[in-house]
Amino acid sequence: MWKPIVGDWDGDGRDTIGLYDPYSARFLLWNSNSSSPGSAIDFAFHVRLPDWIPLVGDWDGDGVDTIGLYDPFTAHFYLKNSNNANPGDVIDFGFHVQLLGWHPLVGDWNGDGVDTIGLYDPNSAHFYLKDSNNAWTGDVSHFGFNVRLPGWLPLVGDWDRDGISTIGLYDPGSAHWYLKNRNDPSAADLIDFVAGSQGWIPLAGNWRSAGAADRAGLASACLDRRATDAVHGEFREWLWV
Ligand SMILES: [Ca+2]
Ligand SMILES: [Ca+2]
Ligand SMILES: [Ca+2]
Ligand SMILES: [Ca+2]
């Protein structure tokens, strides 16, 4: 199953779509959001990584988002500073624990222009946010909601455009979105109700223009590769007011 991703692949300030195929570790990245997005940046590592999770972030703060991969069996992160299959610029670190079911996160939690990693534990609704991309645990901030939120999915965005990424949660069961402008366990700043279909994946990005706030979106998880090698799927976005 191909996985939807979003990022600013060309550094123009606008996020656009991409797709990741876990069966060949292949990335397809488009620089426009349209149904016929034209030619994609297309590269693959030609290994089968069925359970690894694709990541996107600006790991070096140059304004261009690049890819990463997360191995949930060892809580290991592989972050690359260019969008190609050359392994020469991979930042590579791990926590040597098995965190099955946890979700990796990416955001600029301290507003310094560099994206760093985080993790979300769905069993305790706990977020762990780190300000550097290494295995040191001294800069982890964590908070939780002390409730069980089975099936809820985390997302990250700069909803108020202050340069700091904050968390959100999407409940696919009720189609409720809870977005926060601070990384703490206080109540959500924005609650909305927009349903996707079964299995849709929540996304966030600045789809509009450079300097705009991030907005939420949904992508179909039913992406498949047809005989023509074209990738079919659906992305939807809407405006938060
Ligand atoms: Ca862009
Ligand atoms: Ca970058
Ligand atoms: Ca940062
Ligand atoms: Ca913010």
Spatial distance between the Cα atoms of 27 and 45, rounded to a whole number of angstroms:
9
How far apart CA 149 and CA 170 sit, in angstroms, is: 10
pLDDT tens track for 118-145:
999 999 999 999 999 999 999 999 999 9
pLDDT at residue 232 in the model: 47
* Cβ contact 78:68 at 8 Å: yes
Measure the CA–CA gap between 54 and 68, rounded to whole angstroms. Answer: 6
Among all ligands shown, which has an atom nearest to the Cα of 61? Answer: 2
Question: Is residue 21 a contact partner of residue 4, using CB atoms and an 8 Å limit?
Answer: no
**Beta strands at 41-44 and 176-179: parallel, antiparallel or unpaired:** unpaired
Give the model's pLDDT for residue 194. Answer: 80
Nearest to 82 by CA among 111, 62, 104: 62
Per the structure, the count of domains in the chain is 1
Q: How far is the CA of 117 from the centre of ligand 3 (A)?
A: 9
Residue 225 has pLDDT above 50, yes or no: no
The answer to whether the CB of 155 falls within 8 A of the CB of 192 is no
Is residue 32 scored above 90 in pLDDT? no
* Contact indicator for 70, 104 with CB cutoff of 8 Å: yes
Closest to 69 in 3D by CA, of 95, 49, 89:
49
Average pLDDT on 201-222 reads 84
**pLDDT per residue over 65-117, tens digit each?**
999 999 999 999 999 999 999 999 999 999 999 998 999 999 999 999 999 99
* End-to-end C-alpha distance for the chain, whole angstroms: 33
What does the block give as tokens for 126? 């706990």
Is residue 229 pLDDT above 50, yes or no?
no
For residue 59, the CA-to-ligand 1 centroid distance in Å is 16
* Ligand nearest to the backbone CA of 110: 3
- Predicted confidence at residue 14, as pLDDT, reads 94
Any idea which ligand is nearest the CA of 109? 3
- C-alpha of residue 194 to centroid of ligand 2, in Å: 32
Phi, psi angles (nearest 5°) of residue 126: -110, 135
Full-model pTM = 0.92
pLDDT over 70 at 240, yes or no = no
**Separation of 239 CA from ligand 3 center, angstroms?**
26
> b/e map of 95-134 (b: 16 or more CB within 10 Å)?
eeeebeebbbbbbbbbeeebbbbbbbbbeebbbbbbbebe
* Parent domain of 128: 3-237
